[in-house]
Amino acid sequence: LFASISNAWLSGQWDIHQMSHPLPTTLITLALALKVGLAPLHTWMPEVLQGLDLTTGLILSTWQKLAPFCLLLQVQPTNATVLLVLGITSTLVGGWGGLNQTQLRKILAYSSIAHLGWMILVLQFSPSLTFLTLLVYFIMTFSLFISFKISNATNINTLATSWAKAPALTSIIPLILLSLGGLPPLTGFLPKWLILQELTKQGLAPLATVAALSALL
């Protein structure tokens, strides 16, 4: 709200496509980053997701990302550096944050932050690639949350003992997790591969390297 009002004040325009002034453009980018949970504005995300049940957590991780992303895609003359910094910080925070967790929802929250970082990195160069990544992320997150809901698992120990109840499901879950981690030849690797390629084409090879290394975590 503050960004759109200051934009109207500075440029006399209420239209999101005509945001010409750098201040409101940066402000609205940061506001939307806070809304989707990009680092360093991510601190609410793991805690909130941990406190929710799996169905609500699923909605928070998928459906709630659509509106801010639609707006981010429309704010086009945006500050490139801001997006790249948000993106690379998110991939690093998402990678590091998930390391020391036993709670599945927190791991998924950090995974969400990392994936959003990848999407933001490539947003200004190839919006269609961002959309593809979002779609793949939605499908993988949806299947994971549904699997956890069926096996009634909220932490890693429960997941380890769910073998007796649903052997087929328990054998699929690691595959989905590895796919979410972006391991070839699974689906989750495809968008990351394309993003790395796109970043290299744009002459951002060091950034692509850091992103790829953060994905290993």
In angstroms, what CA-CA distances link 111 with 36, 79, 138, 141, 168?
A: 13, 25, 12, 9, 24
Residue type, 36: V
Percent of the chain with pLDDT over 70: 100
> What average pLDDT does the segment 136-159 reach?
92
What pLDDT does residue 195 have?
96
> What average pLDDT does the segment 99-121 reach?
94
What pLDDT does residue 180 have?
92
What pLDDT does residue 20 have?
83
What pLDDT does residue 66 have?
94
Judge whether residue 78 has pLDDT over 80.
no
State pLDDT tens for residues 32-75.
Answer: 999 999 999 999 999 999 999 999 999 999 999 999 999 998 88
Confidence of residue 146 (pLDDT cuts 50, 70, 90): very high
In angstroms, what CA-CA distances link 206 with 44, 61, 75?
A: 30, 29, 26
